[in-house]
Amino acid sequence: MGFDYSETHQLVAASAKEFAEQYIRPYIMDWDEAQTFPVEVFKKAGEMGFMGVLVPEELGGSGLGYHEYIAIIEEISKVDPSIGLSVAAHNSLCTNHILSFGNEEQKQRWITKLATAEWIGAWGLTEHNTGSDAGGMSTTAVRVGDDWVLNGAKNFITHGISGDIAVVIARTGEKGDSRGMTAFAVEKGTPGFTSGKKENKLGMRASETAELVFDNCKIPDANRLGEIGDGFIQSMKVLDGGRISIGALSLGIAKGAFEAALKYSKERIQFGKPISEFQGISFKLSDMATEIEAAELMVHKAAFLKNAGRPMTKMSAMSKMFASEVCVKVANEAVQIHGGYGYTKDFPVEKFYRDAKLCTIGEGTSEIQKVVIAKNILK
């Protein structure tokens, strides 16, 4: 087993780093303060191939694997995690769901637009009263002839307002039945499909989060993704891959916070020497570096399994849980190393600290990851 990154991986990482420095870094705090979702940046990311990373070239994508995907998310997230989150959600959730379970006509119709960011994608599973308990959803899809009529609402949806298309999981059978849900693609502008409340969040503020509302929204059966009743099972498979992207997001946050703390510790003079020379600080940095290294290995092992088409549910849950918890700890220690300055918006660790917490919640909480891991190790 080799640990060297391929030439392609290194080139992709360098490209993503350059993109983040040029198009993201100058505007980080403006977007954060105003909760601006910078659509034009994602259009540019589409031109760079970052919005269709896993999509085959014949469908307009980059045709890359999960190791390169991790590199892109990580480099963007080291600069602004909220932009990294949106790139991850677009790729792993909406686009990947259609790519994995759509038919050829659906792929030609939608993936070609999503891969270039001509369209921005959203993905709707969570509801107000069903977060971890997604199987208890209330949004329904009732078949009427050759159409389906959707009623209900989805909550905490990335790109819920700006998305041009949403993959939505709705109940087509009994509540709680894992075979009682079906996936549909709903285009923006469809009568009865609107956006609701935009969330005012602690962190990830440049990544738009809002409601999707369905009021007698009629769509053709041609918009159904896969078989009737397969929606929940499809979603769990999509989330397996999605957890790798949250692991990558977590790595980016942890590395960004660590690098800022390391730099500050060498520059901050107290009692006549840099604070990095004090054991209390150097031990913090040692622990941070070690845990980041471990998280990186776990996330890339999950990517290796995914690329190889091997079972990876347990590994994706492990890597997502560990990397997300590490990024919260590293961000916390980075603020501590900065002292009072870490609590101000003049230094980047304040934002990493706020952004980090989402990683232990989104795409399955740490507690849900433990449920998934336990099921797999107790089989």
**For residues 289 and 298, what is the distance between their CA atoms, to the nearest angstrom?**
15
- Rounded Cα distance between 188 and 223, Å, is 13
Instruction: Band the pLDDT of 132: cuts 50, 70, 90.
Output: confident
Query: What pTM does this model have?
Result: 0.96
List residues with catalytic annotation: 363
Band (pLDDT 50/70/90 cuts) for residue 142 is very high
- The DSSP code for 93 is I
> Cα(2)–Cα(24) distance, rounded to whole angstroms?
33
What is the pLDDT at residue 2?
79
Collapsing DSSP to helix, strand or coil, 21 comes out as helix
pLDDT at 372: 96
Query: Residue 29: its pLDDT value, please?
Result: 98
Q: How far is Cα 341 from Cα 263, in angstroms, rounded to an integer?
A: 13
Which of the four pLDDT bands, split at 50, 70 and 90, describes residue 363?
Answer: very high
Residue 152 has pLDDT above 90, yes or no: yes
Tens of pLDDT, residue by residue over 98-122, are: 999 999 999 999 999 999 999 999 9
- Percent of the chain having pLDDT more than 70? 100
Burial tier of 358 (Cβ tally within 10 Å: 0-12, 13-18, 19+): buried
Q: Where residue 3 falls among pLDDT bands split at 50, 70, 90?
A: confident
Contact 103, 96 (CB under 8 A): no
In this prediction, residues 52-60 reach a mean pLDDT of 98
**Rg of the chain over all Cα atoms, to the nearest angstrom:** 21
Rounded Cα–Cα distance for residues 80 and 145 (Å): 47
Token pair of 316, please?
């994706």
- 3 vs 38 pLDDT, higher one: 38
Could you report the per-residue pLDDT of 218-243, keeping only the tens digit for each? 999 999 999 999 999 999 999 999 99
Q: Can you give the pLDDT at residue 1?
A: 61
Question: How many angstroms separate the CA atoms of 250 and 328, rounded?
Answer: 8
List the beta strands (DSSP E) in 106-262.
Answer: 121-124, 140-144, 147-158, 165-171, 181-187, 193-198, 209-220, 224-225
Query: Which DSSP state fits 111?
Result: I
Least Cα distance to 135 among 78, 176, 76, 179 occurs for: 176
Task: Tell me the average pLDDT of the chain.
Answer: 97
Q: Is the pLDDT of residue 311 over 70?
A: yes
pLDDT at 126 over 70: yes
The pLDDT, as a whole number, for residue 134 is: 83
Q: CB within 8 A of 220, min separation 6: which ones?
A: 146, 147, 148
The residue length of the chain stands at 379
Query: What is the C-alpha to C-alpha distance for residues 149 and 316, in angstroms, rounded to an integer?
Result: 35
80, pLDDT greater than 70? yes
Q: What is the per-residue pLDDT across 176-216, written as a single tens digit (0 to 9) for each?
A: 898 999 999 999 999 999 999 999 999 999 999 999 999 99
- Residue 22 — φ and ψ, nearest 5°? -80, -45
d(CA 198, CA 211): 7
Q: Which residues contact 335 (CB under 8 A, 6 or more apart)?
A: 342, 343, 349, 350, 353
Mean pLDDT over 341-368 rounds to: 97
Question: Are 303 and 70 a contacting pair, CB within 8 Å?
Answer: yes
Q: What pLDDT score was predicted for residue 371? A: 97
42 pLDDT more than 70? yes
